[in-house]
Structure 1
Amino acid sequence: MAMASRIRAGFSLIRKTLNTTPQFAETLSPVGSSCNPIYSHFQQSRNYTKEIHTKEPEVKVPLVLFGVPGKYATALFSAAAKSNCLDKVESDILNLVEASKKSPLFSQFIKDPSVPAETKVKAVQEIASEAGFSEITKNFLAVAAQNRRLGLIEKIVKCFTELTMAYRGEVKAVVTTVIPLPEQEEKELKETLQDVIGHGKTVKLEQKIDQSIMGGIVVEFAQKVFDMSIRTRAKQMEKFLRDPVNFENF
Protein backbone atom coordinates (compact mmCIF):
# COMPACT_ATOMS: atom_id res chain seq x y z
CA MET A 1 0.00 0.00 0.00
CA ALA A 2 1.38 3.43 -0.89
CA MET A 3 2.42 5.77 1.92
CA ALA A 4 -0.29 8.34 1.17
CA SER A 5 -2.91 5.56 1.15
CA ARG A 6 -1.75 4.29 4.54
CA ILE A 7 -1.96 7.80 5.96
CA ARG A 8 -5.44 8.33 4.56
CA ALA A 9 -6.46 4.98 6.06
CA GLY A 10 -5.65 6.41 9.47
CA PHE A 11 -8.04 9.31 8.97
CA SER A 12 -10.95 7.09 10.04
CA LEU A 13 -9.64 7.52 13.57
CA ILE A 14 -10.25 11.25 13.32
CA ARG A 15 -13.92 10.72 12.58
CA LYS A 16 -14.13 8.44 15.59
CA THR A 17 -12.35 10.83 17.95
CA LEU A 18 -14.31 13.84 16.73
CA ASN A 19 -17.54 12.01 17.43
CA THR A 20 -16.46 10.90 20.90
CA THR A 21 -14.29 13.81 22.05
CA PRO A 22 -16.04 14.47 25.42
CA GLN A 23 -15.89 10.82 26.50
CA PHE A 24 -12.36 10.44 25.20
CA ALA A 25 -11.15 13.49 27.10
CA GLU A 26 -12.61 12.16 30.35
CA THR A 27 -10.88 8.80 30.07
CA LEU A 28 -7.41 10.30 29.76
CA SER A 29 -5.35 11.16 32.79
CA PRO A 30 -4.08 14.76 32.90
CA VAL A 31 -1.34 15.33 30.35
CA GLY A 32 1.18 16.06 33.07
CA SER A 33 0.32 12.93 35.05
CA SER A 34 2.93 10.20 35.33
CA CYS A 35 0.19 7.57 34.82
CA ASN A 36 -0.59 8.93 31.37
CA PRO A 37 1.30 6.73 28.86
CA ILE A 38 1.64 9.66 26.45
CA TYR A 39 3.20 11.82 29.15
CA SER A 40 5.55 8.99 30.12
CA HIS A 41 6.58 8.65 26.47
CA PHE A 42 7.35 12.37 26.30
CA GLN A 43 9.29 12.23 29.56
CA GLN A 44 11.43 9.33 28.31
CA SER A 45 12.02 11.23 25.07
CA ARG A 46 13.18 14.31 27.00
CA ASN A 47 15.53 12.22 29.13
CA TYR A 48 16.92 10.56 26.02
CA THR A 49 17.47 13.97 24.43
CA LYS A 50 19.39 15.12 27.50
CA GLU A 51 21.62 12.05 27.25
CA ILE A 52 22.33 12.82 23.60
CA HIS A 53 23.30 16.39 24.45
CA THR A 54 25.76 15.18 27.08
CA LYS A 55 27.36 12.48 24.93
CA GLU A 56 27.32 13.91 21.42
CA PRO A 57 28.34 17.26 19.91
CA GLU A 58 25.59 19.56 18.71
CA VAL A 59 24.43 19.10 15.14
CA LYS A 60 25.38 22.05 12.97
CA VAL A 61 22.17 23.48 11.55
CA PRO A 62 22.84 24.88 8.04
CA LEU A 63 20.42 27.82 8.32
CA VAL A 64 19.13 30.07 11.08
CA LEU A 65 15.35 30.15 10.92
CA PHE A 66 13.08 32.37 12.99
CA GLY A 67 9.52 32.20 14.25
CA VAL A 68 7.61 29.25 15.67
CA PRO A 69 7.75 27.18 12.43
CA GLY A 70 11.50 27.76 12.20
CA LYS A 71 11.99 26.75 15.82
CA TYR A 72 10.08 23.49 15.43
CA ALA A 73 11.74 22.71 12.09
CA THR A 74 15.19 23.27 13.58
CA ALA A 75 14.44 21.00 16.54
CA LEU A 76 13.14 18.28 14.22
CA PHE A 77 16.18 18.63 11.94
CA SER A 78 18.58 18.31 14.89
CA ALA A 79 16.80 15.23 16.25
CA ALA A 80 16.65 13.56 12.82
CA ALA A 81 20.30 14.36 12.04
CA LYS A 82 21.46 12.93 15.39
CA SER A 83 19.51 9.75 14.70
CA ASN A 84 20.84 9.59 11.12
CA CYS A 85 17.33 9.45 9.65
CA LEU A 86 16.92 12.79 7.87
CA ASP A 87 15.68 11.20 4.66
CA LYS A 88 13.09 9.07 6.45
CA VAL A 89 11.76 11.95 8.56
CA GLU A 90 11.58 14.24 5.53
CA SER A 91 9.67 11.57 3.60
CA ASP A 92 7.30 11.07 6.55
CA ILE A 93 6.29 14.69 6.98
CA LEU A 94 6.09 15.43 3.25
CA ASN A 95 3.75 12.47 2.81
CA LEU A 96 1.68 13.62 5.78
CA VAL A 97 1.24 17.12 4.36
CA GLU A 98 0.46 15.79 0.89
CA ALA A 99 -2.15 13.40 2.25
CA SER A 100 -3.69 16.07 4.49
CA LYS A 101 -4.13 18.39 1.51
CA LYS A 102 -6.35 15.74 -0.02
CA SER A 103 -8.44 15.38 3.14
CA PRO A 104 -10.47 18.46 4.20
CA LEU A 105 -11.51 16.53 7.32
CA PHE A 106 -7.92 16.06 8.48
CA SER A 107 -7.01 19.65 7.62
CA GLN A 108 -9.94 20.92 9.66
CA PHE A 109 -9.09 18.56 12.52
CA ILE A 110 -5.51 19.75 12.97
CA LYS A 111 -6.44 23.44 12.70
CA ASP A 112 -9.51 23.38 14.97
CA PRO A 113 -8.49 24.96 18.33
CA SER A 114 -11.58 23.52 20.05
CA VAL A 115 -10.32 19.94 19.70
CA PRO A 116 -8.50 18.95 22.93
CA ALA A 117 -4.75 18.53 22.63
CA GLU A 118 -5.01 15.00 24.04
CA THR A 119 -7.37 14.06 21.22
CA LYS A 120 -4.97 15.35 18.59
CA VAL A 121 -2.04 13.57 20.21
CA LYS A 122 -3.94 10.28 20.16
CA ALA A 123 -4.99 10.77 16.53
CA VAL A 124 -1.57 11.69 15.12
CA GLN A 125 0.12 8.88 17.05
CA GLU A 126 -2.31 6.36 15.54
CA ILE A 127 -1.92 7.78 12.04
CA ALA A 128 1.89 7.82 12.37
CA SER A 129 1.92 4.18 13.48
CA GLU A 130 -0.45 3.17 10.68
CA ALA A 131 1.76 4.91 8.12
CA GLY A 132 4.99 3.41 9.45
CA PHE A 133 6.57 6.72 10.44
CA SER A 134 9.86 6.82 12.30
CA GLU A 135 9.93 7.30 16.07
CA ILE A 136 11.42 10.76 15.56
CA THR A 137 8.46 11.77 13.38
CA LYS A 138 5.94 10.26 15.80
CA ASN A 139 7.50 12.08 18.75
CA PHE A 140 7.55 15.36 16.82
CA LEU A 141 3.89 15.09 15.83
CA ALA A 142 2.92 14.27 19.41
CA VAL A 143 4.80 17.27 20.78
CA ALA A 144 3.36 19.55 18.09
CA ALA A 145 -0.15 18.30 18.90
CA GLN A 146 0.42 18.66 22.65
CA ASN A 147 1.61 22.25 22.19
CA ARG A 148 -1.23 23.07 19.78
CA ARG A 149 1.11 23.68 16.85
CA LEU A 150 -0.30 21.16 14.37
CA GLY A 151 -2.03 23.99 12.54
CA LEU A 152 1.44 25.21 11.55
CA ILE A 153 2.50 21.85 10.13
CA GLU A 154 2.75 23.03 6.51
CA LYS A 155 4.93 26.01 7.48
CA ILE A 156 7.07 23.80 9.70
CA VAL A 157 7.55 21.29 6.90
CA LYS A 158 8.49 24.08 4.49
CA CYS A 159 11.15 25.31 6.93
CA PHE A 160 12.38 21.75 7.48
CA THR A 161 12.76 21.27 3.72
CA GLU A 162 14.81 24.47 3.52
CA LEU A 163 17.13 23.03 6.16
CA THR A 164 17.53 19.65 4.47
CA MET A 165 18.19 21.26 1.09
CA ALA A 166 20.82 23.56 2.57
CA TYR A 167 22.36 20.59 4.38
CA ARG A 168 22.65 18.67 1.09
CA GLY A 169 23.94 21.68 -0.83
CA GLU A 170 20.82 21.92 -2.97
CA VAL A 171 19.57 25.18 -4.46
CA LYS A 172 15.90 25.33 -5.37
CA ALA A 173 14.80 26.82 -8.67
CA VAL A 174 11.09 27.28 -9.37
CA VAL A 175 10.16 27.41 -13.04
CA THR A 176 6.67 28.62 -13.97
CA THR A 177 5.22 27.99 -17.43
CA VAL A 178 1.78 27.53 -18.98
CA ILE A 179 2.58 23.94 -19.99
CA PRO A 180 5.21 21.48 -18.68
CA LEU A 181 8.67 22.07 -20.10
CA PRO A 182 9.82 19.47 -22.64
CA GLU A 183 12.44 17.16 -21.18
CA GLN A 184 15.27 18.58 -23.29
CA GLU A 185 14.43 22.18 -22.41
CA GLU A 186 14.22 21.30 -18.74
CA LYS A 187 17.64 19.66 -18.95
CA GLU A 188 19.18 22.68 -20.69
CA LEU A 189 17.68 25.11 -18.16
CA LYS A 190 18.97 23.03 -15.27
CA GLU A 191 22.46 22.92 -16.81
CA THR A 192 22.41 26.70 -17.28
CA LEU A 193 21.42 27.31 -13.68
CA GLN A 194 24.04 24.79 -12.55
CA ASP A 195 26.71 26.80 -14.37
CA VAL A 196 25.54 29.91 -12.54
CA ILE A 197 25.91 28.45 -9.02
CA GLY A 198 29.10 26.54 -9.87
CA HIS A 199 30.43 23.38 -8.26
CA GLY A 200 29.66 22.27 -4.72
CA LYS A 201 25.91 22.83 -4.99
CA THR A 202 23.16 21.10 -6.92
CA VAL A 203 20.17 22.68 -8.64
CA LYS A 204 16.82 21.17 -7.67
CA LEU A 205 14.26 22.16 -10.29
CA GLU A 206 10.58 22.52 -9.44
CA GLN A 207 8.06 23.13 -12.18
CA LYS A 208 4.81 25.03 -11.70
CA ILE A 209 1.98 25.47 -14.17
CA ASP A 210 0.23 28.87 -14.22
CA GLN A 211 -2.02 29.73 -17.13
CA SER A 212 -2.24 33.37 -16.01
CA ILE A 213 1.29 34.19 -17.21
CA MET A 214 -0.08 33.64 -20.75
CA GLY A 215 3.19 32.23 -22.07
CA GLY A 216 6.94 32.55 -21.69
CA ILE A 217 8.70 31.54 -18.49
CA VAL A 218 9.34 32.79 -14.95
CA VAL A 219 12.38 31.50 -13.04
CA GLU A 220 12.80 32.05 -9.28
CA PHE A 221 16.36 31.21 -8.36
CA ALA A 222 18.83 32.23 -5.66
CA GLN A 223 16.48 34.91 -4.29
CA LYS A 224 16.12 36.42 -7.76
CA VAL A 225 13.22 36.40 -10.20
CA PHE A 226 13.74 36.26 -13.96
CA ASP A 227 10.36 37.15 -15.40
CA MET A 228 10.13 36.52 -19.13
CA SER A 229 6.40 35.87 -19.21
CA ILE A 230 4.07 37.28 -21.85
CA ARG A 231 1.92 38.76 -19.09
CA THR A 232 4.80 40.86 -17.77
CA ARG A 233 5.87 41.90 -21.25
CA ALA A 234 2.29 42.97 -22.00
CA LYS A 235 2.20 45.07 -18.82
CA GLN A 236 5.51 46.68 -19.75
CA MET A 237 4.21 47.47 -23.21
CA GLU A 238 1.00 48.91 -21.76
CA LYS A 239 3.00 51.13 -19.41
CA PHE A 240 5.19 52.29 -22.30
CA LEU A 241 2.13 53.19 -24.37
CA ARG A 242 0.46 55.03 -21.49
CA ASP A 243 3.51 57.12 -20.55
CA PRO A 244 3.49 60.63 -22.03
CA VAL A 245 5.73 61.15 -25.03
CA ASN A 246 8.70 63.47 -24.51
CA PHE A 247 9.07 65.24 -27.89
CA GLU A 248 12.36 66.85 -26.80
CA ASN A 249 14.02 63.52 -27.45
CA PHE A 250 13.00 63.58 -31.13
Structure 2
Amino acid sequence: MVFRFSTEQDCEMMRDLIRLKQFAAERGTTLDVWDNVAKSLSTALKVELKVKQIRDRLNLLKTRFKTNEQRSKGASGVEESLHAVNIQSHYSDVDGLKEADLAQCAKDIVAESNRRRADREAELSDSDVSDEGSCVSATDSSTSRGSRASKRTNAFLAEVKRQEKRYKEQMDMKVRELEQKQKQFDDRLAFEREQAQAKLQFDMEVQANNRNVILECAKIFSAALVNKD
Protein backbone atom coordinates (compact mmCIF):
# COMPACT_ATOMS: atom_id res chain seq x y z
CA MET A 1 0.00 0.00 0.00
CA VAL A 2 1.37 3.41 -1.04
CA PHE A 3 0.62 6.61 0.86
CA ARG A 4 1.29 9.92 -0.90
CA PHE A 5 1.78 12.97 1.29
CA SER A 6 0.01 16.16 0.19
CA THR A 7 0.90 19.77 0.99
CA GLU A 8 -1.64 19.96 3.83
CA GLN A 9 -0.42 16.65 5.24
CA ASP A 10 3.20 17.85 5.13
CA CYS A 11 2.21 20.98 7.05
CA GLU A 12 0.25 18.88 9.56
CA MET A 13 3.31 16.66 10.05
CA MET A 14 5.55 19.70 10.66
CA ARG A 15 3.06 21.08 13.19
CA ASP A 16 3.09 17.80 15.12
CA LEU A 17 6.89 17.65 15.05
CA ILE A 18 7.17 21.20 16.36
CA ARG A 19 4.48 20.67 18.99
CA LEU A 20 5.87 17.41 20.39
CA LYS A 21 9.55 18.55 20.16
CA GLN A 22 10.96 15.12 19.41
CA PHE A 23 14.50 16.50 19.05
CA ALA A 24 14.41 17.87 22.59
CA ALA A 25 13.30 14.58 24.14
CA GLU A 26 15.20 13.28 27.14
CA ARG A 27 17.52 10.32 26.70
CA GLY A 28 15.60 7.08 26.66
CA THR A 29 12.29 8.70 25.64
CA THR A 30 12.99 9.56 22.00
CA LEU A 31 11.33 6.43 20.63
CA ASP A 32 8.24 7.11 22.73
CA VAL A 33 8.06 10.67 21.42
CA TRP A 34 8.32 9.45 17.81
CA ASP A 35 5.54 6.96 18.53
CA ASN A 36 3.41 9.82 19.84
CA VAL A 37 4.12 11.80 16.65
CA ALA A 38 3.03 8.83 14.53
CA LYS A 39 -0.15 8.33 16.57
CA SER A 40 -1.04 12.03 16.50
CA LEU A 41 -0.46 12.32 12.75
CA SER A 42 -2.35 9.07 12.06
CA THR A 43 -5.32 10.38 14.04
CA ALA A 44 -5.26 13.75 12.26
CA LEU A 45 -4.96 12.23 8.76
CA LYS A 46 -7.13 9.17 9.51
CA VAL A 47 -4.40 6.98 8.00
CA GLU A 48 -2.17 4.59 9.93
CA LEU A 49 1.41 5.84 9.61
CA LYS A 50 4.61 4.36 10.99
CA VAL A 51 7.53 6.14 12.59
CA LYS A 52 9.83 5.16 9.73
CA GLN A 53 7.48 6.73 7.17
CA ILE A 54 7.47 10.04 9.05
CA ARG A 55 11.26 10.09 9.57
CA ASP A 56 11.90 9.20 5.91
CA ARG A 57 9.49 11.91 4.81
CA LEU A 58 11.21 14.52 6.99
CA ASN A 59 14.69 13.58 5.73
CA LEU A 60 13.55 13.67 2.11
CA LEU A 61 11.94 17.09 2.52
CA LYS A 62 15.20 18.46 3.96
CA THR A 63 17.29 16.90 1.18
CA ARG A 64 15.09 18.19 -1.62
CA PHE A 65 14.90 21.64 -0.04
CA LYS A 66 18.71 21.94 0.19
CA THR A 67 19.13 20.73 -3.40
CA ASN A 68 16.69 23.31 -4.77
CA GLU A 69 18.25 26.07 -2.67
CA GLN A 70 21.66 25.33 -4.19
CA ARG A 71 20.18 25.34 -7.69
CA SER A 72 18.48 28.64 -6.99
CA LYS A 73 21.78 30.23 -5.86
CA GLY A 74 23.43 29.09 -9.09
CA ALA A 75 20.81 30.77 -11.30
CA SER A 76 21.62 34.01 -13.19
CA GLY A 77 19.89 36.55 -10.99
CA VAL A 78 16.50 34.81 -10.91
CA GLU A 79 15.38 32.28 -8.34
CA GLU A 80 14.31 29.00 -9.85
CA SER A 81 10.76 27.95 -9.08
CA LEU A 82 10.38 24.86 -6.95
CA HIS A 83 8.24 22.21 -8.66
CA ALA A 84 6.80 19.26 -6.76
CA VAL A 85 8.26 15.88 -7.66
CA ASN A 86 6.70 12.73 -6.25
CA ILE A 87 9.01 9.72 -6.05
CA GLN A 88 7.80 6.63 -4.22
CA SER A 89 9.66 3.63 -2.87
CA HIS A 90 7.90 0.60 -1.45
CA TYR A 91 8.69 -1.15 1.81
CA SER A 92 7.20 -4.22 3.40
CA ASP A 93 4.21 -3.78 5.72
CA VAL A 94 6.57 -4.07 8.69
CA ASP A 95 9.10 -1.45 7.63
CA GLY A 96 6.58 0.99 6.21
CA LEU A 97 6.79 3.22 3.17
CA LYS A 98 9.14 5.94 1.95
CA GLU A 99 8.41 8.51 -0.77
CA ALA A 100 10.36 11.54 -1.91
CA ASP A 101 9.07 14.82 -3.28
CA LEU A 102 9.74 18.53 -2.94
CA ALA A 103 9.63 20.27 0.45
CA GLN A 104 6.07 21.55 0.11
CA CYS A 105 6.30 24.13 2.86
CA ALA A 106 9.47 25.59 1.34
CA LYS A 107 7.83 25.50 -2.10
CA ASP A 108 4.88 27.54 -0.87
CA ILE A 109 7.16 30.12 0.72
CA VAL A 110 9.35 30.52 -2.37
CA ALA A 111 6.32 30.58 -4.69
CA GLU A 112 4.84 33.39 -2.63
CA SER A 113 8.17 35.24 -2.80
CA ASN A 114 8.25 34.85 -6.60
CA ARG A 115 4.68 36.08 -6.89
CA ARG A 116 5.40 39.18 -4.84
CA ARG A 117 8.53 39.86 -6.85
CA ALA A 118 6.54 39.65 -10.09
CA ASP A 119 3.96 42.09 -8.70
CA ARG A 120 6.72 44.51 -7.72
CA GLU A 121 8.32 44.33 -11.17
CA ALA A 122 4.91 44.96 -12.76
CA GLU A 123 4.40 48.02 -10.56
CA LEU A 124 7.85 49.31 -11.48
CA SER A 125 7.13 48.75 -15.18
CA ASP A 126 3.84 50.68 -14.95
CA SER A 127 5.63 53.49 -13.13
CA ASP A 128 8.29 53.70 -15.87
CA VAL A 129 5.63 53.83 -18.62
CA SER A 130 3.82 56.64 -16.81
CA ASP A 131 7.07 58.60 -16.44
CA GLU A 132 7.87 58.21 -20.15
CA GLY A 133 4.40 59.52 -21.12
CA SER A 134 4.86 62.63 -19.03
CA CYS A 135 8.22 63.31 -20.72
CA VAL A 136 6.44 64.11 -24.01
CA SER A 137 4.60 67.14 -22.55
CA ALA A 138 7.41 68.70 -20.46
CA THR A 139 11.08 67.87 -20.98
CA ASP A 140 12.45 69.60 -17.92
CA SER A 141 9.87 68.29 -15.49
CA SER A 142 10.04 64.78 -16.98
CA THR A 143 13.81 64.72 -16.56
CA SER A 144 13.47 65.60 -12.90
CA ARG A 145 10.63 63.12 -12.46
CA GLY A 146 12.60 60.37 -14.21
CA SER A 147 15.55 61.02 -11.92
CA ARG A 148 13.32 60.76 -8.86
CA ALA A 149 11.68 57.59 -10.21
CA SER A 150 15.11 56.09 -10.87
CA LYS A 151 16.17 56.83 -7.32
CA ARG A 152 12.96 55.34 -5.96
CA THR A 153 13.44 52.28 -8.15
CA ASN A 154 17.03 51.78 -7.02
CA ALA A 155 16.03 52.17 -3.37
CA PHE A 156 13.12 49.77 -3.82
CA LEU A 157 15.27 47.14 -5.55
CA ALA A 158 17.94 47.50 -2.87
CA GLU A 159 15.31 46.89 -0.19
CA VAL A 160 13.96 43.87 -2.08
CA LYS A 161 17.45 42.37 -2.38
CA ARG A 162 18.11 43.05 1.29
CA GLN A 163 14.91 41.29 2.31
CA GLU A 164 15.64 38.33 0.03
CA LYS A 165 19.16 38.01 1.45
CA ARG A 166 17.79 38.13 4.99
CA TYR A 167 15.15 35.51 4.13
CA LYS A 168 17.76 33.13 2.66
CA GLU A 169 20.02 33.57 5.68
CA GLN A 170 17.12 32.73 8.00
CA MET A 171 16.20 29.64 5.98
CA ASP A 172 19.84 28.47 5.91
CA MET A 173 20.08 28.92 9.66
CA LYS A 174 16.87 26.92 10.20
CA VAL A 175 18.11 24.12 7.93
CA ARG A 176 21.45 23.96 9.78
CA GLU A 177 19.66 23.92 13.13
CA LEU A 178 17.35 21.12 11.97
CA GLU A 179 20.31 19.11 10.64
CA GLN A 180 22.17 19.53 13.93
CA LYS A 181 19.17 18.35 15.93
CA GLN A 182 18.68 15.42 13.56
CA LYS A 183 22.34 14.42 13.99
CA GLN A 184 22.01 14.61 17.77
CA PHE A 185 18.92 12.44 17.61
CA ASP A 186 20.62 9.87 15.35
CA ASP A 187 23.65 9.75 17.65
CA ARG A 188 21.43 9.29 20.69
CA LEU A 189 19.45 6.56 18.93
CA ALA A 190 22.66 4.77 17.93
CA PHE A 191 23.93 4.97 21.51
CA GLU A 192 20.71 3.52 22.88
CA ARG A 193 20.82 0.76 20.28
CA GLU A 194 24.40 -0.11 21.26
CA GLN A 195 23.38 -0.22 24.93
CA ALA A 196 20.48 -2.54 24.13
CA GLN A 197 22.73 -4.84 22.10
CA ALA A 198 25.35 -4.90 24.86
CA LYS A 199 22.70 -5.79 27.44
CA LEU A 200 21.35 -8.54 25.20
CA GLN A 201 24.86 -9.95 24.71
CA PHE A 202 25.48 -9.83 28.46
CA ASP A 203 22.21 -11.66 29.18
CA MET A 204 23.09 -14.33 26.63
CA GLU A 205 26.51 -14.84 28.22
CA VAL A 206 24.94 -15.10 31.69
CA GLN A 207 22.48 -17.70 30.43
CA ALA A 208 25.27 -19.66 28.78
CA ASN A 209 27.30 -19.62 32.00
CA ASN A 210 24.27 -20.77 33.97
CA ARG A 211 23.76 -23.68 31.60
CA ASN A 212 27.41 -24.66 31.94
CA VAL A 213 27.18 -24.53 35.74
CA ILE A 214 24.07 -26.73 35.70
CA LEU A 215 25.78 -29.24 33.42
CA GLU A 216 28.87 -29.32 35.62
CA CYS A 217 26.73 -29.86 38.73
CA ALA A 218 24.90 -32.71 37.02
CA LYS A 219 28.23 -34.35 36.12
CA ILE A 220 29.49 -34.01 39.70
CA PHE A 221 26.31 -35.52 41.13
CA SER A 222 26.42 -38.38 38.64
CA ALA A 223 30.06 -39.10 39.50
CA ALA A 224 29.24 -39.03 43.22
CA LEU A 225 26.40 -41.51 42.78
CA VAL A 226 28.60 -43.87 40.77
CA ASN A 227 31.35 -43.79 43.39
CA LYS A 228 28.81 -44.40 46.15
CA ASP A 229 27.51 -47.52 44.41
Q: Is this a same-fold pair by TM over 0.5? A: no
Task: Give me the TM-score of the superposition, normalised by structure 2.
Answer: 0.28
**TM-score by structure 1 length?**
0.26
Q: Which has the higher contact order (CA 8 A, sep 6+)?
A: 1
- Larger proportion of helix: 2
Higher strand share: 1
Q: Which has the larger radius of gyration?
A: 2
